[in-house]
Structure 1
Amino acid sequence: MLTRVIQQFNLKVLSVNEVEDSHSSTVYKCNLLNGEIIFLKIPYTKLKYERELEAYQILKDKVSIPQMLDYWSGDETCPGAFLLSELKGKPLTNKDLPKVAFQVGELHASMHQIQPPSQLSGIRNEFPNWANFVERQFYSFAEDVQKVINENLYRQALKKFENMKLQLPPSDGPSFIHMDFRPANIIIDGDKVSGVIDFESVRFGSTEIDFTKIYRDYLSFDDELFQSYQEGYKNIRPLLDLEVVLPFYQFTDAFNSIGWCKRRGLEKNASFLEENLSILKRMLI
């Protein structure tokens, strides 16, 4: 498939390396004969391709993202592919300075400022039925989770979900939500945020779900980072009370992630499975 995509884009390639930590697409970093570096992205499904394509069209000139140089709608062997420019830098880490966290907050809020256009093709607007969307996701993964954890823990989790969802504040939106806003998808160049990548999971919905992964993998390690992020976010738009919404979404994210590991393979995702089992058990004490 890679050879087919390279031919489709008529690329003169010197070397190709697969990018790690890409879970819903296959991504390749390509060094071209002319010295240019570009990225090839092949989503796993047609739906993910359609979401990503529309996201690039919606976000262009509003949020810092790679330039989409070309795209291909695919054929019977390939769901589609994107030719993307390089964002200079490396993925965000919790060693980056608080001034970077401030910019990450601004970047996140800038996405959340974007409201759905009058017509959508690949991206769904889940906001009008937000509670149903969250519930549908949870119980979809529940079928997989039940095969991984013991019955008592499983029943406790279902009961906690039903109790916690009743305590949520009114939904905040409709907003463009990334659904996978985590350090691996945020590119930093020195002390500047270059932009955000990976849009195969995006929706329009309530912002409340979109803070979970950035908190889990970045903000929770340092109060100063967390404060700077919040200040940056509030510099663009009002911020929900995260102390109210984070516990619910931390819980559902851990639960859903266990189901994700079952679908994608327990052995190859063993460490991620253990991490989320630990979070789930801690929240059920």
Structure 2
Amino acid sequence: MDQLAYVIKKMNLHVLAVEGVPESFSSAVYRLKLSSQETVFLKIPYTTEKLVREAEALEVLRETIRVPDVLDYWEGDEEITGALLLSCIQGQPVPKKVDNKLAYDIGVNHATLHTVTPDVTKEYRGLSNVYEEWGTFLNKQFYNFAKDVEGAIPADLYDQTLELYEAWRKLLPPPDGPCFIHRDFRSANILTSNNQVSGIIDFETARFGSTEIDFTKINRDIFLHNPGTREAYQEGYRSVRPLIDLDMILPFYRFTDAFTSLGWCRQRGLEKHQAFFDENLAILKGLLLAFR
């Protein structure tokens, strides 16, 4: 019995149809139509840590922002890490072409997400608070991926990257937080309907930390391809809470995102992700050349 059939049986689901979900890289995600005619999503994270974190994040956020409801939770067994059954939010991922109206609403929703702070009276199982050790957290993330990048790019390029990282991170502004941070806030995880945000999904890498890391992927996916959207986004964001100086942090995080994406590609297999590897290598080379 394959993994999906096994989980469906364990969760006692009566399924009429199954459809795979693209753009899901750290979990197996399926769109299910149940015998009740309800459409739901079944998410099977690759690790128990991601399962617990996702469920906890959805519980923390459900009173603040539109996120999926947890309809069922299976803790797993010796065969499978576990699974979540999630409600369906109507909408589609952010399109490639984004206008200022949608960018403004994305800013409002992102800022609202960042208004969520850790409850000091609560002990979290999955949502760690890394704010007080923010520099240590950044270093750990960077150098963990660096192990996979080493040997995949020319040695001089690798050494230059590490040197620039060490010099650049010392120039960052003080952390902004502690706030709830998504850490994968990209177009595919922002659902829209009628040119407005209808919901946010995929919280398996979330933490409490500094907001500065959370603008990286919308810069890559939206701002750089749609002139004027950054300004509209910032206006929407500032209508909810103050915004850190993006001019100071976006270049650094574009640089680290390009480098760590190379490591991610090697971890997941270059045979599947060579195009993404090449794209990020070109970005890294361009940024290193600019800062010589």
TM-score over 0.5 for the pair: yes
1:46-101 per-position Cα deviation (integer Å, ceiling 9, x unaligned): 11111101101111111111111111111111111011111111100232332111
Contact 1:93 1:218 in 2 (8 A): no
Counterparts of 1:142 and 1:96, CA distance in 2: 33
**What are the residue-to-residue correspondences of 1:33-182 with 2, within 5 Å?**
33-118=35-120, 119-182=123-186
Equivalent position of 1:191 in the other structure: 195
Structure 1 stretch displaced more, 132-141 or 30-39: 30-39
SS at match of 1:221: coil
* 1:271 to 2:271 alignment: no
SS at match of 2:224: helix
Identity among equivalent pairs (%): 49
Contact 1:116 1:176 in 2 (8 A): yes
Counterparts of 1:18 and 1:58, CA distance in 2: 27
Contact 1:255 1:276 in 2 (8 A): yes
Counterparts of 1:262 and 1:117, CA distance in 2: 37
Unmatched segments (≥5 aa) in structure 2: none
Contact 1:73 1:79 in 2 (8 A): yes
Equivalent position of 1:212 in the other structure: 216
Counterparts of 2:75 and 2:114, CA distance in 1: 28
Counterparts of 1:10 and 1:175, CA distance in 2: 37
Stretches of 4+ aligned residues off by more than 4 angstroms: none
Counterparts of 2:39 and 2:47, CA distance in 1: 25
Counterparts of 1:120 and 1:169, CA distance in 2: 28
Counterparts of 2:285 and 2:217, CA distance in 1: 18
Counterparts of 2:49 and 2:128, CA distance in 1: 11
Counterparts of 1:38 and 1:125, CA distance in 2: 30
TM-score of the superposition, structure 2-length normalised? 0.95
How many residue pairs end up in the alignment? 285
TM-score of the superposition, structure 1-length normalised? 0.98
> Shift in Å at residue 2 of structure 1?
1.0
Amino acid at match of 1:68: V
CA RMSD of aligned residues (A): 1.0
Counterparts of 1:163 and 1:8, CA distance in 2: 51
Unmatched segments (≥5 aa) in structure 1: none
Counterparts of 1:216 and 1:21, CA distance in 2: 16
